[in-house]
Structure 1
Amino acid sequence: MPNTSYDALIIGSGQAGNPLATALAKAGRKVVLVEENKLGGSCINYGCSPVKAMLASAERAHQLRTADDYGLGRQEPAVDMAAVIARKDVIIGEMRKGVRSNLTKETAGITVLHGHAAFSSPRTVQVELENGKIQELKAKKVFINTGTRAAIPDIDGLEGLPYLSTTQLLDLKELPEHLVILGGGYIGLEFSQLYRRLGSKVTIVEAAAQLLEREDDDVCQALTEVLTQEGVDVVLGAKVRKVSHHDGTFTLTADTRSGERRLRGSHLLVATGRTPNTDTLGLETAGVELDEKGYIRVNERLETNVRGVYALGDVHGGPQFTHISYDDYRVVRDGLLHRKWRSAKQRPLPYCVFTEPQLGRIGLNEEQAKEEGIAYRVATMPVSTIGRARETGRTAGFWKVLVGPDDRLLGATVLCAEGGEIMSMFQLMMAGKLKYQQLQNMVLAHPCWAEGLNNVFAKLDKPK
């Protein structure tokens, strides 16, 4: 069995592992990257990019249906689901080619292996290659970037049924007649609007009392109203205790506040969270500690309890966003190559849910500020007051800002068309430690969405 030694061994080709491989190789390190599935990680292959590509198709369908509102005449779109998938596949294929080219052609010093890696000692890994052969790798430092997979709930009857994960749904070339989505988190919401706009009947089944349970109540209520107005059926407080499948129909038996309900659909998407890909890595052999949910424990430098072994991206738990995974790479790169360590435990957490309107978040919301005992003033502005919103007909949602005693922004919630872009403006304000009066008096181009920055702080008041 051949033995090969490297400066760095990266397990997993995700949004942290790939740029780290490139940075280390350019710094003269000998690097090997092992990927069991497709290069690019979850974001490119079955996460952000494919979903957003398909959401673009759904948005066009919605524009056709609502064209009468703009004096153009309503038109029912003829949805070709296979063509929607094909467009998505072309986009993802190009991204995947770019990753492969960067790792194998554009940067010298990187070896890419396809196979399954498992530790045999703290810094030794055995890789079962695609041809069945075993290759042993040794490295001075090891970086685990294996991500997560769909978590399947323990529900009577579910095991063995032909339900769909998000990965499988993204390749489904037929339009579901009635898609039942188990889970009302960010993933469930994006898919619900996507398939409803493409023409499916859609039902969301959520055990909690509201969608997006980590958001403020007013945000959850507003998003629920947006979805229900488009025809999505939202069933809250529903604990599913049994699932069956007969004659092409799924039946979910759920306990609700109003008694037992049976919810039926042609397709079932299970979107109840994620679980880390740590169970087949041989981490116990390496002595790497996991938390109670199977995520790898790391310190502020993203190093595990085993010296020289790091965990990057979703596999170490916490917020599971591509941009956080990419920042993990920067934390490790700057620390190892430039001796400029900063804490991965203390950094801004911007994120966006790509429903329409989008939900952009940065900093604290009201519930978090109350829990932490932080004094704040709050202002809420309906999107309909913005000129750009009225002109484009995209008036749903609101902006909400929290301001501290020092007149600086504590956080912002933007439920609005282009909410992610607007949220990023608030993030820049926070990074620059600007006082809100500077935005109130800033000259902003008319008629842009950004003009709302002049007005959103007008009615700041103490929380009710």
Structure 2
Amino acid sequence: MPDHDFLVLGGGTGNAVAAAAADAGLDTGLVERGRLGGTCLNRGCNPSKKLIRRADVVESIRAADELGIDASVDDIAFSDIVDSVSETVAAKAEAMAAAARERDGLTFYHAEGRFVDERTVEVERPDGDGTDRVAAETVVLAGGSRPTVPDSIDGTDETPFLTSDEALRLDSLPDRLVVVGGGYIAVELSHFFGQMGSEVAVVGSGDVLLDREDRDVAERLTEAYREKHDLHLGYRAAEIAGDDGERVVTAESEDGDEIEVRADRLLLATGRRPNSDTWNVSAAGIETDEKGFVETDEYLRTSVDGVYAMGDIAGNYPFKHSGDKEAEYVVANAVRGDERAVEYPGMAHAVFGSPQVASLGKTEDQVDDATGVEEYEVGTCAYDDTVLGAVLQAEGGFVKAIVGADGEVLGCHVVGPEASTLIHEVSTAVAAGADAETIAEAIHVHPALSEVVRGAFRDACGVGLSGL
């Protein structure tokens, strides 16, 4: 049985931990069943945002006449676009695999792996002839997540459907696509396929899209999507049916109203689940919560001595950037022995639909429900109230700042162009310990788009000149 000093399970963000362990002189093993780079590189952030960038360009061209520019989209080479993105991603993954195979001190097991005991994993042999057991004193579980297919939807065993994994690699554009779900994947891929030329219908159980975002933001996003897509909100998908020619989604509302939505392709965008079951963590005695996420303490240690967990499988935050931060802590704690409790200062996230959405901290509803928060101020600033924002076809876009009585930034929410960039002004300030008034009074380049952020904080803090 091959033994290592250090073993990493999962080659997404975990590959950075494996490389650091090998560089520190530890005999290190890395187990990954698929391509290195994990979900983000191969099936998530990387390919989706490359594709969405094309959708953004198409949308801008189609809206050019609003700025007095005569332009049109005459053709979209859909399959070429998808092929180009897929090839770029595959090349990056292969380069990472080649580097892993050549790295001193690192053994790369490109194979399926499952726990069979504490700190012991069974992996398939490269030739397919049996398995080997691999053990280590220290194990890092970075096993990721996968799309959820709800048991509550009948027909999933008989009816062809897409998840985000397959939707990012379609070789032909659907004439009509029905998307089941109302979260970030549904929002982003509806935007992509809609701008590529598909008619998109969305079936979501919430009364708004992105219902975990601040309510004002979610309502604005939903309003924008209703203008472009066929929305069926407040309906929970109960059954899917169809064959290669047609898909039918049957959905029901809480009061018993039933609808059928038809399309030639179907995308289930109903969330993600941790891969703890596929890694068979129960065999190692690793404790999980009721949703299957591996439970960790403040040092990212699991219930088993010498086993750490990070990223999607641990469920602290479902973002690549939080996984990257956790990797830094795991290297400090598990590789270097310099134990540090994990912190997420200024943690923010973004949804790359149209309009973009970005968020940090609590929503207003969460602030209302929080204990110990009795007084707070809300400030807003519309894109149209700033010079550059007014030119960006951002009608209805705004920034919302939620500020505590002591000046603490309780939350910030953005809906509009470049929201994913604008939120970093606030996340950087919060990480540095700045209060809301510091953001409000900071000198901003005029007429940069970031003035919309300053405007929201000025409104919340009651500072700045009002003018005529």
Please indicate the TM-score interval, normalised by the length of the shorter structure: over 0.9
Match of 1:349 among 343, 347, 350: 347
Structure 2 unmatched runs, 5+: 463-468
Q: Does 1:66 align with 2:59?
A: no
Residue 329 (1) aligns with residue 327 (2): yes
RMSD: 1.9
Equivalent residue number for residue 21 of structure 1: 18
SS at match of 2:110: strand
Give, in whole Å, the separation in 2 of the partners of 1:27 and 1:433.
Answer: 33
Q: Which residue of 1 aligns with 2:383?
A: 383
Is the Cα contact below 8 Å between 1:408 and 1:433 reproduced in 2? no
Deviation at 1:91, TM superposition (A): 2.7
Regions of 4+ moved over 6 Å: none
Where 2:451 maps in the other structure, the secondary structure is helix
Alignment map for 1:109-148 (pairs within 5 Å): 109-133=105-129, 134-148=131-145
User: Per-residue deviation at 1:349?
Assistant: 2.6
Residue matched to 1:81: 78
Residues in 1 aligned to 2:180 and 2:343: alpha-carbon distance in whole angstroms: 31
Distance 2:168 2:344 in 1: 34
Match 1:313 to one of 311, 314, 318: 311
Find the partner of 2:187 among 186, 189, 199: 189
Task: Give the match's secondary structure for 1:459.
Answer: helix
Pairing 1:198–2:196 present? yes
Contact 2:437 2:461 in 1 (8 A): no
TM-score (structure 2 length as normaliser): 0.93
Aligned residue in 1 for 2:97: 100
Q: Cα distance 1:339–1:138, how it changes in 2: closer, same or farther (>3 A)?
A: closer
Corresponding residue for residue 406 of structure 1: 406
Query: For 2:450, what is the secondary structure of its paired residue?
Result: helix
The alpha carbon displacement at 1:461 in A equals 7.7
| Contact 2:22/2:28 (8 A) holds in 1 | yes
Comparing 96-105 with 202-211, greater Cα deviation is found at: 96-105
Alignment of 1:357-396 (within 5 A): 357-373=355-371, 374=373, 375-396=375-396
Relative to structure 1, the CA distance from residue 347 to residue 122 in structure 2 (aligned partners, 3 Å threshold; closer, same or farther) is farther
- Tell me the CA shift for residue 49 of structure 1: 0.5
Q: 1:152 corresponds to which residue?
A: 149
Return the alpha-carbon distance in structure 2 between the equivalents of residues 31 and 144 of structure 1: 14
> CA, structure 1 residues 425+247, in 2 after alignment: closer, same or farther (shift >3 Å)?
closer
Structure-2 residue corresponding to 1:451: 451
Give secondary structure in 1 for the equivalent of 2:15. helix
Taking the aligned partners of 2:252 and 2:441, their CA distance within structure 1 comes to: 53
SS class of match (2:388): helix
Deviations 1:390-421 (A, max 9, x none): 23434441100011122232221111211111
Partner amino acid, structure 1, of 2:367: A
Q: Distance in 2 between matches of 1:207 and 1:248?
A: 26
AA in 2 matched with 1:301: Y
SS of match in other structure, 2:457: coil
**Partners of 1:410 and 1:430 within 8 A in 2:** no
Does the CA-based 8 Å contact 1:379-1:400 persist in structure 2?
Answer: yes
TM superposition shift of 1:196: 0.6
Q: Partner amino acid for 2:263?
A: G
Structure 1: distance between partners of 2:351 and 2:295: 27
Displacement of 1:345 in angstroms is 6.6
Q: Which amino acid aligns with 2:457?
A: F
Deviations 1:354-405 (A, max 9, x none): 1122111111221111111323111111111111112343444110001112
Q: 1:64, 1:77 within 8 Å by CA — same for their partners in 2?
A: no
CA separation of 1:440/1:305 partners in 2, compared to 1, >3 Å: closer, same or farther? closer
Q: 2:422·2:450 contact (CA, 8 Å) conserved in 1?
A: yes
Distance 2:242 2:120 in 1: 46
> Residue in 2 aligned with 1:165?
163
Contact 2:436 2:461 in 1 (8 A): no
What is the letter of the counterpart of residue 50 of structure 2? A
Residues 227 and 117 of structure 1, relative CA distance in 2, 3 Å threshold? same
Q: TM-score, normalised by structure 1?
A: 0.93
Are 1:290 and 2:282 an aligned pair? no
Partners of 1:130 and 1:104 lie apart in 2 by 13
CA contact (8 A) 1:357 1:396 kept: no
* Residues paired across the two proteins, number: 457
